[in-house]
Amino acid sequence: MDAPLLCKPTNQIRFMSNHSAKMGQHLDRLDDQAHEQSRKEAQERRQKKKDRKLVKKGKKDDVIADHVKASSTALQKNDDDMDREDDDEETEEEADGSVLPDPAQTRKRMNDIVNQFVDSLRGIRGSEPSADLFDTVTVNAYGANVPLNSIAQVTISSPTLAYANCFDPSLAKNVATAIRNQMVNLNPSVDDDGRGQVKIPLPRVSLETRQATAQQLRKRTEQYRAKIRGVRRSTLNVVKKGLAGKLEHVSKDDAFRVQQEIESVTEDCIKKLNEAADKKENDVMTG
């Protein structure tokens, strides 16, 4: 019999080495395939988690934006009327530019701006809600739009609940509709007992929302300061003519006196404006 063929030892070792390498690569591929699905699932879970955070943040930002928008609307109310009044008064002064402006009239115009600003602050919620929040709401009643406080009494039962008690129970639904349409994130309901009581749940205000409201308040305060400075500028334009001797029958001493009075009035009114704004901001941020 022929002797069996035997591989040389070196060839046998090389064969076993190549075979082991191929087996190792095959096992690595199997391992990769086995873990590939797990990696994909883990990646999908991470992405879903990120998406949930973004959605949550988006909703939170929307709530903050809505609250700031409501505060801005409260501050904006009656601005157009005030601007028109200012324009009318400035036109009269310009038409009568041959005499010095009356400091008393200038003070009245500036105080009107301060009072308008202070009134608008009532519509901004501080650390605790108050009935003033609803002062800007108007209700369709008896064929006309009337202030809410003329047809109902608003009471604050707790930091998260208010009631509007209508003097005429038949107007309760109109009151609820007006509050829902004109105030952000409020969803009132009418009690079924026929007493004309409107229940108004109040959401809690987060620190982040209060910070955004305070920032908006500071911006609006500066806008009202600019209004006061605008009145100052329009009156001093006439005074400057007197100081330059360009106004007939007006002495430079009289012009200087009026200038000093107007500067003093301006400082007083801006100080009152700043004090009102600081007090409201402290109220917003305290809590």
Reported as a single tens digit per residue, the pLDDT across 31-72 is 566 556 666 676 777 777 766 666 555 544 444 444 445 555
- In this prediction, residue 12 has a pLDDT band, given cuts at 50, 70 and 90, of low
- Among 279, 275, 262, 280, which residue's Cα sits nearest to residue 109? 262
pLDDT confidence of residue 38: 65
Between CA 231 and CA 268 the distance in angstroms is 14
- Among 116, 113, 114, 132, which residue's Cα sits nearest to residue 124? 132
Between CA 104 and CA 254 the distance in angstroms is 15
- Give every CB contact of residue 156 below 8 A, 6+ residues apart in sequence: 128, 129, 130, 131, 162
The DSSP letter of residue 125 is -
Residue range 85-133, pLDDT digits in tens:
555 455 455 445 678 999 999 999 999 999 999 988 887 877 778 888 8
Residue with tokens 């036109």: 91
Its pTM surpasses 0.75: no
HEC profile for 73-117? HHHHCCHHHHHHHHHHHHHHHHHCCCCCCCHHHHHHHHHHHHHHH
**Token digits of residue 227:** 């209004």
Residue 31 belongs to what H/E stretch? helix 9-76
User: In the predicted model, is pLDDT for residue 73 greater than 60?
Assistant: no
User: In the predicted model, is pLDDT for residue 170 greater than 60?
Assistant: yes
